[in-house]
């Protein structure tokens, strides 16, 4: 069975926000934003915009009926700038006109007079000046300060990782339709329907029940629409509310790239100590997160960085400190991996440097220190069902990794201008929102009188296939044909108080909620069936392949008939299911707990060839053994692993965000910002799912798959370094991603 949306996508019939048939009287919005990264507003003059052709209204912070505040975790972000400007691209006014062009033309006529102030773009500078969102946090285990003297080798270094543009195919969009009595329906391309509902209510000064948010699907989110879809929905809602007319706001690609936040760039310092035999004894790290001009999700992302400090390794003495540093760049936000990749890049860098010092291949140190069952993470949780070594060993077997390294040596010995390199990348990723309260979901299931089924959950489909997974759970639980089941839009009126679809938990949480709802209906149906079959008990009834069985024997009673009978007997054919992940908690006062339901493991081997004349390179192969549990839908999981890998490769290699010292994004278009395409995709992309993997901690023994594979891409950086060192033996390593061809060239020749 194919992913539900694919036939619609390939025939161009799937509806995104900008495809919804326009309502009568629709107006179009355009946003006027700050042209400077830091400054004080002297005067904002909208007169010329108001007089511009087709313009119906121009709104600034003064027009906001409720609070001018969209901050989710920390309330530090105005919807529309007041007197202080904090980044280039910060919304300051919204212009509404009869056409999109008229709105954009008018927005250009707004005049802004400012007193510029010096901007900060570097997180270390922000840290030195005390510009922090929260006090730095530290996760610690063992005793690092005493452990150094036990070490035979101690190395230190610095690691920088760049940001990353989400490049969802559908840009940020919202359509807001006012209905009777001051109510609003918001169609938003958001991962967080409740987030949009809550913040729009706050901005407009309305109770949440006046606002309904509806989401059919997203043309990609990747974390970029977890918090940051809210701005555009609220701006459109403000205009629609003021004018009592429908308003649509769709960002074009360049505005989207300029105005919205991306993956956080990090700058980090590490110190790592080992025994001669390669055992890592101590690891100390300081992470400077470039958070941008508002908190957004930065504090939660920082927390996940700390949780993934040691990746897939056990280290007995760890001290990891992390700081959210305010800068004058657009607020950075969630992106697949949510701070985890940044931490993993640092520990992997530290291992490379230590390996060099010890004159051993990095994979020897990686293997030596892999997590084992019941090892303790620096946040106090013990590893259960640890599959780190199993994946590692399976990768060695499946892909003959020893041969790969030997072949590379042979190749490099006989080639002077082309060098190959390889690297292993084990991953360990915790599943659950680290804010425990978010680990809840609900589902509303209706069985109609013809036996067809309608399912609403809190999950948002963004291409990751959560809908097909939920559909399969429902069809299996009822044991009915998948064609009988339809997954509805995600709607705050049908399922309330939803957590964002994020942290890879979409199908874990919502699949379980749907299963719970189906089981409630199933219980009632069994009772009905036992009433219809004389002398039978509900516990002897089973529905299999749309037939009612009694003690395993056919009864001649079919699903449709049973439903029709149940309805006439006034049996309730709807149910609401609720699921909250059990037994997880985290105590931030001591930074200890069991925040994750389980961990996902895997090992990748990445092979590259560098053209040492030009500095260009090819990613030749990525081969993975991935611990995916029992897959609910194998093609979807495979697609998630492939997509995650390619996105991870892009982050490590070609995707370079460049800001000027004035805080201006210089790579704001496809001509300057490169994302992987089909030519970049490695010709060999082997994914082997660990056999006999189970997982009692998630629905149908499955495992979350959305984010973990992203981090396999980190291997590409080290494979490239490996090849570059073959050309320049002994030249010091550097850890500053992305490894663009320019950087490769500089390393080879400068
Ligand atoms: N896959 C596609 N095609 N599009 C997306 O936007 N988002 C990723 C991942 N895979 C994304 C995707 C991110 S950041 C997350 S957290 C998960 O999907 C969210 O969905 P899930 O919880 O259902 O896995
Ligand atoms: Mo994903 S970064 O948790 O939306």
pLDDT tens digits, residue range 94-136? 999 999 999 999 999 999 999 999 999 999 999 999 999 999 9
What was the pLDDT predicted at 391?
98
| Cβ-defined contacts of 730-735 (< 8 Å, 24+) | 733/349, 733/352, 733/353, 733/356, 735/157, 735/158, 735/159, 735/160, 735/345, 735/346, 735/349, 735/352
Per annotation, catalytic residue among 170, 367, 461, 707: 707
pLDDT tens digits, residue range 599-647? 999 999 999 999 999 999 999 999 999 999 999 999 999 999 999 999 9
542: annotated active-site residue: no
Residue whose structure tokens are 């992940």: 581
Pocket test for ligand 2, best of 503, 596, 704, 709 (most atoms within 8 A of CB): 503
* Angle at alpha carbon of residue 53, lines to 49 and 56, rounded to 5°: 70
Residues in contact with ligand 1 (CB, 6 Å cut-off): 220-223, 336, 462-464, 466, 501-507, 640, 643, 704, 706-707
Question: What predicted TM-score, i.e. pTM, was given to this entire model?
Answer: 0.97
Tell how far the Cα of 462 is from the centroid of ligand 1, in angstroms.
Answer: 7
What was the pLDDT predicted at 692?
84
> Any idea what DSSP says for residue 303?
H
Task: Please determine, for residue 725, whether its predicted confidence score (pLDDT) is greater than 60.
Answer: yes
Q: Is 657 in the pocket of ligand 2 (CB under 6 A)?
A: no
CB 683 within 8 A of CB 616: no
Tell how far the Cα of 335 is from the centroid of ligand 1, in angstroms.
Answer: 9
pLDDT tens digits, residue range 223-278? 999 999 999 999 999 999 999 999 999 999 999 999 999 999 999 999 999 999 99
Task: Please determine, for residue 1, whether its predicted confidence score (pLDDT) is greater than 90.
Answer: no
Residues 6+ positions from 717 with CB-CB distance below 8 Å: 345, 348, 423, 652, 653, 735, 737, 738, 739
What was the pLDDT predicted at 81?
98
For residue 177, count other CB atoms closer than 10 A to its CB.
23
Task: Please determine, for residue 337, whether its predicted confidence score (pLDDT) is greater than 80.
Answer: yes
Segment 682-702 shows an average pLDDT of 94
Q: Is 223 in the pocket of ligand 2 (CB under 6 A)?
A: yes
Sheet holding 440-447, edge to edge: 485-487, 453-457, 440-447, 574-580
pLDDT tens digits, residue range 134-193? 999 999 999 999 999 999 999 999 999 999 999 999 999 999 999 999 999 999 999 999
Q: What is the mean pLDDT of the chain?
A: 97
pLDDT tens digits, residue range 558-599? 999 999 999 999 999 999 999 999 999 999 999 999 999 999
Pairwise CA distance, residues 169 & 12, whole Å: 13
Query: What atom in ligand 1 is closest to the CA of residue 465?
Result: 23
Q: Which ligand is closest in space to the CA of residue 170?
A: 1
- What share of the chain has pLDDT > 70, as a percent? 100
Q: Which ligand is closest in space to the CA of residue 166?
A: 1
Q: Which ligand is closest in space to the CA of residue 229?
A: 2
pLDDT tens digits, residue range 540-551? 999 999 999 999
Pocket test for ligand 2, best of 430, 502, 708 (most atoms within 8 A of CB): 502
Segment 64-81 shows an average pLDDT of 97
Pocket test for ligand 1, best of 462, 463, 471, 472 (most atoms within 8 A of CB): 462
Query: What atom in ligand 2 is closest to the CA of residue 223?
Result: 4
Pairwise CA distance, residues 422 & 613, whole Å: 19
Task: Please determine, for residue 73, whether its predicted confidence score (pLDDT) is greater than 80.
Answer: yes
Q: Is 78 in the pocket of ligand 2 (CB under 6 A)?
A: no
Task: Please determine, for residue 5, whether its predicted confidence score (pLDDT) is greater than 90.
Answer: no
Helix axes 340-358, 714-727, angle to 10 degrees: 30
What was the pLDDT predicted at 2?
62
Closest residue by Cα to atom 4, ligand 2, is 223
pLDDT tens digits, residue range 429-465? 999 999 999 999 999 999 999 999 999 999 999 999 9
Q: Is 224 in the pocket of ligand 2 (CB under 6 A)?
A: no
Q: Is 227 in the pocket of ligand 2 (CB under 6 A)?
A: no
Six token digits for residue 647: 């996105």
Query: What atom in ligand 1 is closest to the CA of residue 218?
Result: 6
- What share of the chain has pLDDT > 90, as a percent? 98
Q: Is 460 in the pocket of ligand 2 (CB under 6 A)?
A: no
What was the pLDDT predicted at 676?
97
What was the pLDDT predicted at 4?
78
DSSP reduced 3-state for 229: coil
What was the pLDDT predicted at 171?
98
Q: Which ligand is closest in space to the CA of residue 466?
A: 1
């Amino acid at each position: 069975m194919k992913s539900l949306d694919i036939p619609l996508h390939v025939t161009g019939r799937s509806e995104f926000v900008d495809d919804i048939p326009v309502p009568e009287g629709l107006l179009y919005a355009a946003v006027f934003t700050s042209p400077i990264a830091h400054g004080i507003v002297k005067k904002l003059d909208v007169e010329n915009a108001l007089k511009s052709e087709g313009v119906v209204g121009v709104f600034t912070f003064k027009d906001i009926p409720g609070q001018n505040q969209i901050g989710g975790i920390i309330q530090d972000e105005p919807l529309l700038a007041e007197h202080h400007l904090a980044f280039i691209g910060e919304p300051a006014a919204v212009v509404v006109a009869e056409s999109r062009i008229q709105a954009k033309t008018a927005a250009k006529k707004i005049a802004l007079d400012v007193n510029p102030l010096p901007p900060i773009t570097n997180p270390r500078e922000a840290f030195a000046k005390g510009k922090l969102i929260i006090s730095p946090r530290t996760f610690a285990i063992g005793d690092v300060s005493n452990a150094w003297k036990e070490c035979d080798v101690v190395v230190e270094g610095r690691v920088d990782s760049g940001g990353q543009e989400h490049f969802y195919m559908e840009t940020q969009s919202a359509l807001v339709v006012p209905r009777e009595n001051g109510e609003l329906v918001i169609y938003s391309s958001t991962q967080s329907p409740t987030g949009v509902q809550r913040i729009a209510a706050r901005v407009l000064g309305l109770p949440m029940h006046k606002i309904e948010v509806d989401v059919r699907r997203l043309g990609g989110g990747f974390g970029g629409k977890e918090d940051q879809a809210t701005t555009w929905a609220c701006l459109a809602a403000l205009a629609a509310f003021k004018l009592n007319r429908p308003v649509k706001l769709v960002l074009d690609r360049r505005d989207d790239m300029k105005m919205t936040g991306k993956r956080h760039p990090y700058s980090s310092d590490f110190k790592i100590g080992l025994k001669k035999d390669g055992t890592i004894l101590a690891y100390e790290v300081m992470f400077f997160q470039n958070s941008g001009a508002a908190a957004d999700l930065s504090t939660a992302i920082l927390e996940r960085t700390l949780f993934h400090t040691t990746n897939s390794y056990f280290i007995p003495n760890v001290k990891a400190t992390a700081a959210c540093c305010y800068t004058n760049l657009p607020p950075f936000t969630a992106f697949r991996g949510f701070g985890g990749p940044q931490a993993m890049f640092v520990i992997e860098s530290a291992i490379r440097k230590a390996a060099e010092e010890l004159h051993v291949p990095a994979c020897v140190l990686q293997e030596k220190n892999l997590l084992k069952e019941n090892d303790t993470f620096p946040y106090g949780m013990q590893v259960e069902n640890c599959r780190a070594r199993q994946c590692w060993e399976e990768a060695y077997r499946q892909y003959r990794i020893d041969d790969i390294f030997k072949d590379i040596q042979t190749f490099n010995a006989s080639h002077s201008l082309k060098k190959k390199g390889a690297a292993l990348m084990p991953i360990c990723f915790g599943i659950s929102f680290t804010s425990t309260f978010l680990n809840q979901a609900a589902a509303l299931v209706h069985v109609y009188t013809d036996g067809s089924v309608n399912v609403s959950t809190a999950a948002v489909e963004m291409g990751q296939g959560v809908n097909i997974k939920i559909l399969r759970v429902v069809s299996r639980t009822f044991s009915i044909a998948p064609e009988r089941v339809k997954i509805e839009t995600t709607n705050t009126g049908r399922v309330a108080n939803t957590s964002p679809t994020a942290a890879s938990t979409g199908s874990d949480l919502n699949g379980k909620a749907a299963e719970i709802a189906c089981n409630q209906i199933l219980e009632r149906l069994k009772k009905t069936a036992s009433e219809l079959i004389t002398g039978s008990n509900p516990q002897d009834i089973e529905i299999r392949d749309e037939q009612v069985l009694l003690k395993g024997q056919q009864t001649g009673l079919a699903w449709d008939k049973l439903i029709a009978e149940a309805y006439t007997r006034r049996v309730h054919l709807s149910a609401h299911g609720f699921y909250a992940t059990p037994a997880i908690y985290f105590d931030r006062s001591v930074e200890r707990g069991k925040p994750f339901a389980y961990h996902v493991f895997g090992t990748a081997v990445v092979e590259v060839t560098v053209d040492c004349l030009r500095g260009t390179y090819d990613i030749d192969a990525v081969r993975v053994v991935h611990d995916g549990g029992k897959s609910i839908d194998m093609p979807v999981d495979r697609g998630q692993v492939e997509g995650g890998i390619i996105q991870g490769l892009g982050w490590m290699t070609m995707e370079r965000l460049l800001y000027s010292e004035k805080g201006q994004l210089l790579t704001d278009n496809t001509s300057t910002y490169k994302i992987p395409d089909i030519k970049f995709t490695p010709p060999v992309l082997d994914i082997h799912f660990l056999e006999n993997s189970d997982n009692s901690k998630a629905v149908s023994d499955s495992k979350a798959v959305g984010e973990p594979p992203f981090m396999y891409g980190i291997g590409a950086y080290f494979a490239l370094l490996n090849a570059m060192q073959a050309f320049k033996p002994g030249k010091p390593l550097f850890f500053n991603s992305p490894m663009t061809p320019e950087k490769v060239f500089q390393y080879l020749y400068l």
